[in-house]
């Protein structure tokens, strides 16, 4: 499968990695929209959050742990941040491998959508 984030997860493509373990990889977005813009990506290929199995507690926990690590180590836990995951082209998804944008370090617009 020709998937950009599978390639990054396999280290076939370079990324600036923030944290990584067996289940997830977090790396800096190539086109940052804020001082902190990190993508938290499960290594398992899933298209979007709707494909995530609620019973896959290990993966869910790994995702949450990575998000928490990112906000704590970048200093945005106190200043405020947003976690977003897009699903489908109409929602703005451009890479069809599940990922969570962790964004902070500036004032974010209040409105969603």
> Mind telling me the catalytic residues?
99
Strands (E), the chain: 17-20, 24-28, 36-42, 81-84, 100-104
36-65 binders of Zn ion (CB under 5 A):
45
**Window 25-44: residues binding ligand 5GP (CB under 6 A):** 27-31
Q: Is the C-alpha dihedral spanning 68, 69, 73, 74 positive or negative?
A: negative
| C-alpha distances in Å from residue 90, one per residue of 37, 80, 85, 107 | 21, 27, 13, 25
Out of 36, 38, 67, 86, name the contact with ligand 5GP by CB under 6 A.
86
Q: 6 is in the binding site of which of ligand 5GP, Zn ion, none (Cβ under 5 to 8 A by kind)?
A: Zn ion
If one counts every other C-beta atom within 10 angstroms of the C-beta of residue 54, the result is: 6
**Does residue 15 belong to the site contacting ligand 5GP (CB under 6 A)?**
yes
Pull the structure tokens for residue 22: 């067996």
> Residue 17's binding partner, choosing from ligand 5GP, Zn ion, none, with beta-carbon cut-off 5 to 8 A by kind?
none
Of 6 and 60, which CB lies nearer to ligand 5GP in the complex structure? 6
84, 99 contact by CB (below 8 A): no
Minimum CB separation of residue 8 from ligand 5GP in Å reads 6
Applying CB under 6 A, which residues contact ligand 5GP? 4, 15, 27-31, 86, 92-95
């Amino acid at each position: 499968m020709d998937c950009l984030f599978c390639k990054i997860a396999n280290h076939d493509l370079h990324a600036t990695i923030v944290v990584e373990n067996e289940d997830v990889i977090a790396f800096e977005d190539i086109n940052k929209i804020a001082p902190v813009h990190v993508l938290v990506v499960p290594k398992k290929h899933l298209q979007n959050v709707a494909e995530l199995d609620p019973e896959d507690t290990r993966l869910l926990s790994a995702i949450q742990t990575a998000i928490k690590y990112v906000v704590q180590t970048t200093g945005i836990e106190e200043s405020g941040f947003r976690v977003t995951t897009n699903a489908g082209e109409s929602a703005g998804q451009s890479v069809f491998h599940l990922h969570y944008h962790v964004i902070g370090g500036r004032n974010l617009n209040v409105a969603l959508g």
